[in-house]
Chain A
Amino acid sequence: MARSPSTLRVVLTHLALVVITLLALYPVLWVVRMALSPSQQFSSDPTLLSGRLTLQNFVDVIWTFDGGYWLFGAQLFNSLVVATATAGVGLVLATSAGYALSRWAFPGRDAGMSAFLVTQMFPGVVMAIPLYILLDTLGLLDSLLGLALVYATTAVPFSVWTLKGYFDTIPVALEEAALLDGASRWTTFTKVILPLARPALAVTGLFSFMTAWNEYILAATLLGDPRAYTLPVVLQSYVDDYGASWGHFAAGAILVSIPVVALFFALQRYFVEGLTSGAVKG
């Protein structure tokens, strides 16, 4: 833009950004304060800087043992394994499907596209018990693998949708060039298409990761052992009907959020691009 905006406009814009960002951050900062305060009760003080600060809540949450077995470590590890596996399985399932749907006009393609979307409309509430029975039948109950599979399928429709949109923007000529260069479909896919789809892969991978990282109802239903629990299940139990330990909950919430937030920041340069380039083309 050749013209520079008026000073008033610049000031007002930045002011608006500051106010909105503060609003957006307030609850987050609230959690941080609660985690650092020694009380387990919910404070009514709206200001964020007050009182004695302590890291005791974090210590309590991290230092949990089950007969000499470091529970928090195990649970963190479980969460990481499940979330990574979910992202992996989700990407494997979604990239090939998204690519096929983007490229080839096989009979039933539109129906397939709609079917993926339709599964987003299934209300999850009724599915926990049938899933339990299903996983039990498959012998996957109590295993992180079963959980990862279940999560991956809930993440797949969104991933397929995003990836298909993104693949649509990759010119077909590149694949034709690769075909003439003697590459097979598979080589073209892995060496040409996938490297180009990195932004979309990052976004969908993160989305799948988050699905698994944040879920607790299914995890609590499908896992039978505290050593197999994922972190959200544990976190939830800090504020269940037996009484609320808000300090522990907040400390746990921060510990649970850190990896996701870190991933968000690390991948955010891909976000704008990966999430929407496809959609723009419609």
Chain B
Amino acid sequence: MAGVTLNGLYKRYGSTSVLEGIDLDVEDGEYIVLVGPSGCGKSTLLRCIAGLEEITAGTLEIGGRRVNDLSPRARNVAMVFQSYALYPHMTVRRNMGFALEVARRPKAEIREAVEDVAAMLDLVPLLDRLPGQLSGGQRQRVAMGRAIVRRPDVFLFDEPLSNLDASLRHHMRVELKHLHRRLQTTVFHVTHDQVEALTLADRIVVLHQGVVQQVGTPRELFDRPANTFVGTFIGSPSMALLPAVGAGGTVRIDGLEGELELPGEGAMTLGLRPTDIEVGRGPLRGQIEVIESLGAEALLHLDLGPDRKLVAQVPEPCQAQPGEVVSLLPRVVHRFHAETGERLP
């Protein structure tokens, strides 16, 4: 059990920089989710923590101990790979006990540890099978079990659910949450799926181009995105960004009629979430292009003017028709700096 501290962590391959000064302080037992688009460096960061990649500069501490130069095995971390990386020639039992076997623990102890974890994960009937004889979900659980058996200080999950189908993924998400509550071990979980991030994380770390964009609880990230990147990345369907100009307490979206009562002077970018738009009244007008029904809600794709699009989420049943022009009221508006994209106070 241990907290993890990253201090000015850099990772470079020759002249390409992948991580540019990551600072992060993780409490013991926290569930941290690293999100970002592909190529943002989140997997690299995970692999740096695991010790699979060498750290170019900065320090990494686990449990208050600098581990930069320690081998993976000395760091006492466990990892679940995207492909699960189960040893194909070993039974589930041996797969799960391999770390202990390598550490030359007594056979009885290995057996006990493996069976405990297997019971916890409903793997007991599968213990003597080979990975090739298991389904995707079972393999995922074995990979999980293999990590748990070792009782590591930190769990590292590299897109552990991405190879599962939608319903199984949902099921495993819940199970992960249970597990974490039981084990209370620090977790780093890499995903590109924001739903996973929002549902699992104690805190989310959003990475973009090797730089941390924001660290915070799911609520904080959703309610107060630090910049346009986080704003659009978190939340689905994503936030619409519209250029606007403010003057004397009102703000007007470029090229549109209608003013919003908001503070701020000069050019800025407005962020509007589909869930925050009320249809039927308000200063903005838009024509409905397409209506997507999701069952309980419907998404209205609206054309506000040239190059100005917006999505609004309304409850079903929805009476509106495509082609109809409706009035719109943004209940919450996020304001960002026009050039830097940083959130305006």
Q: Which of B71, B77, B87, B103 contacts A177 (CB 8 A)?
A: B87
Q: Is B73 an interface residue (CB 8 A)?
A: yes
Q: Which of chain B's residues have a CB closer than 8 A to the CB of A181? A: 73, 98-99, 102, 146, 150
Contact of A173 among B85, B103, B150 (CB under 8 A): B85
- Interface contact B102-A180, CB-CB below 8 Å: no
Contact between chains at B102 and A196 (CB < 8 Å) = no
Task: Return the CB mask of B93-126 against A: 1 if under 8 Å, else 0.
Answer: 0000011001100000000000000000000000
Contact pick for B81, options A176, A183, A191, A192, CB 8 Å = A176
Nearest Cβ on chain A to B132's Cβ, whole angstroms: 12
A191: which B residues are within 8 A, CB to CB? 98, 102
A179–B89 CB distance below 8 A: no
Give the CA-CA distance A181 to B77 in the complex, in Å: 9
Minimum CB distance partner of A192 in chain B = B87
- Asked whether A180 lies within 8 Å of B98 as measured between CB atoms, the reply is no
* B290 at the binding interface (Cβ < 8 Å): no
Q: Are B81 and A196 closer than 8 Å at their CB atoms?
A: no
Q: Is A107 an interface residue (CB 8 A)?
A: no
A174, A179, A195: the one contacting B73 at CB < 8 Å is: A179
Q: Which chain A residues lie closer than 8 Å to B82 at the CB level? A: 173
CA distance A279 to B86 in the complex (A): 24
**At the interface, yes or no: A51 with Cβ under 8 Å from chain B?**
no
The answer, yes or no, to whether B235 is at the interface (CB within 8 Å) is no
A46 at the interface (CB under 8 A from B): no
- Select one of B50, B52, B86, B102 contacting A182, CB under 8 A: B102
- In the assembled complex, B83 has its CB within 8 A of some CB on chain A: yes
A179 near B72 with CB under 8 A, answer: yes
A171 to B81, CA, bound (A): 11
Q: Give every chain B residue within 8 A of A221 (Cβ-Cβ).
A: none
Interfacial chain A residues near B98, Cβ < 8 Å: 178, 181, 183, 191
A173, B81: Cβ atoms closer than 8 Å: yes
- Kindly state the separation between the CA atoms of A178 and B94 in the bound complex, as whole angstroms: 12
B102 engages A174 (CB within 8 Å): no
- B77 / chain A contacts, CB cutoff of 8 Å: 180
Give Cα A173 to B80, complex, Å: 10
Q: Check B88 for interface membership: any CB of A closer than 8 A.
A: yes
Q: Is the CB of A173 within 8 A of B72?
A: no
Question: In the assembly, what is the distance between CA of A181 and CA of B150, in Å?
Answer: 8
In this assembly, does B207 line the interface, its C-beta being within 8 Å of a C-beta of chain A? no
B300 to chain A, nearest CB (A): 44
Is A120 an interface position by the 8 A CB rule?
Answer: no
> Which chain A positions have C-beta within 8 A of B215?
none
Complex interface bits, A181-206 against B, C-beta within 8 A gives 1, otherwise 0:
11100010001100110000000000
Q: Given A192-B87, A196-B88, is A177 in contact with B102 using a C-beta cutoff of 8 Å?
A: no
Number of residues from A at the complex interface, CB < 8 A: 16
Q: Is B302 an interface residue (CB 8 A)?
A: no
Q: Which residues of A contact B72 (CB under 8 A)?
A: 179-180, 182
A177 touches B88 (CB 8 A): no
Does A171 lie within 8 Å of B150, measured CB to CB? no
Chain B residues whose C-beta falls within 8 Å of the C-beta of A177 in the assembled complex: 79, 81, 85-87, 146
Cα–Cα, bound, A146→B77 (Å): 49
B83 near A180 with CB under 8 A, answer no
| Residues of chain A lying within 8 A (CB to CB) of residue B73 | 179-183
Whether, in the assembled complex, B78 has its beta carbon less than 8 Å from a beta carbon of chain A, the answer is: yes
B88 near A176 with CB under 8 A, answer no
The 8 A CB mask of B208-239 against A (1 = contact, 0 = none) is: 00000000000000000000000000000000
Question: A118-146 vs B: 1/0 string, CB under 8 Å?
Answer: 00000000000000000000000000000
A residues near B52, Cβ cutoff 8 Å: 176, 179-180
Contact B89 A195 (CB under 8 A): yes
Q: Verify B79–A180 contact, CB threshold 8 A.
A: yes
Beyond A176-B52, A179-B72, A179-B73, whether A171 also contacts B85 by CB under 8 A is: yes
Residue of A with least CB distance to B71? A179
A171 to B88, CA, bound (A): 11
| CB contact under 8 A between A174 and B78, given known A181-B150, A183-B102 | no
How far is the CB of B93 from the nearest CB of chain A, in Å?
14
Question: Per-position contact with A for B51-66: 1 when CB-CB < 8 Å, else 0?
Answer: 1100000000000000
With most chain B CB atoms within 10 A of its CB, the pick from A181, A192, A195 is: A181
Asked whether, in the complex, the Cβ of A196 is within 8 Å of the Cβ of B89, the reply is yes
Known A-B contacts A173-B81, A187-B102; the reply to A180 vs B50 at CB < 8 A is yes
Residues of B within 8 A of A182 (CB): 72-73, 99, 102-103
A78 to B64, CA, bound (A): 63
Q: Which residue of chain B has the shortest Cβ distance to A188 in the bound complex?
A: B102
Q: Give CA–CA (A176, B80) in the complex, Å.
A: 10
Which chain B residues border A195 with CB–CB below 8 Å?
Answer: 89
8 nearest A-B residue pairs (beta carbon): A182-B73, A181-B99, A173-B85, A177-B85, A195-B89, A183-B102, A182-B102, A173-B81
**Which residues of A pack against B, CB within 8 Å?**
171, 173-174, 176-183, 187, 191-192, 195-196
**5 A-B residue pairs with CB within 8 Å:** A174-B85, A179-B51, A179-B52, A180-B52, A182-B73
Given contacts A171-B83, A176-B81, A183-B102, 12 further A-B contacts (CB under 8 A): A173-B85, A174-B85, A176-B50, A179-B73, A180-B50, A180-B73, A181-B102, A181-B150, A182-B99, A187-B102, A192-B87, A196-B87
